Chains A and B, each alone.
Chain A
């Protein structure tokens, strides 16, 4: 299994441009998450999904959109990039089992710079 993969690894955007951060997992996990990590800060949840066709907002959803058409893929869309969206973005997935500890598996991250 490849686990959780993310593309691209690094991207520079101009203000106002749009892009999609890709995330794919091959573990058949129901739950998927997008986080952003700013320097000196913990991870902040942007959006999450509990299954195909179901998404919901996290703590910091403004400026982002997501979709979940398949179990494997959970792309994150930035429509009008702003400097405040400069960050490292992590995708994660998990498969909670009744009575067992849920473990999140993280992708390697996408570093985004908006100038």
Chain B
């Protein structure tokens, strides 16, 4: 069945790089997303990648996609305390209105 899995927690030191991983199961998914949720707030879209791409870079964010292993990662360079949040990956199959969200990874940045 459809499922998106993420590790629950990640702790890094300020200035280091963070890598948040996600695995998905629907091989027909075309759009894969990363969302950020700060405490008490809704989800905010960070970036997305098409399934025909291997990598996408957007300032401090780098998304890597391994279609063979159905593995998606989000790398945050020079992680700051303001990056502390929960990060969700999500997939969507074109032609459907259904997004499948992962469980979220709580990133804690230590000063």
Q: Interface residues, chain A, CB within 8 Å of chain B?
A: 4, 31, 33, 35, 40-43, 45, 48, 50, 56, 58-59, 90, 92, 101-109
Residue of A nearest to B86 (CB): A37
Total number of residue pairs linking A and B with CB closer than 8 Å: 51
B99 / chain A contacts, CB cutoff of 8 Å: 43, 45, 104
Q: Interface residues, chain B, CB within 8 Å of chain A?
A: 4, 8, 31, 40-45, 48, 50, 88, 90, 92, 97-104
Residue of A nearest to B44 (CB): A106
Residue of A nearest to B88 (CB): A42
Give 24 pairs: A residue, B residue, CB < 8 Å, sorted on A: A4-B42, A33-B97, A41-B103, A42-B4, A42-B102, A42-B104, A43-B43, A50-B97, A58-B98, A90-B42, A90-B43, A92-B42, A92-B43, A101-B48, A101-B50, A102-B31, A102-B92, A103-B48, A104-B45, A106-B44, A108-B40, A108-B41, A108-B42, A109-B42
Given contacts A42-B102, A102-B92, A109-B41, 12 further A-B pairs with CB under 8 A are: A41-B103, A42-B101, A48-B97, A90-B42, A92-B42, A101-B31, A102-B31, A105-B45, A106-B43, A107-B42, A108-B41, A108-B42
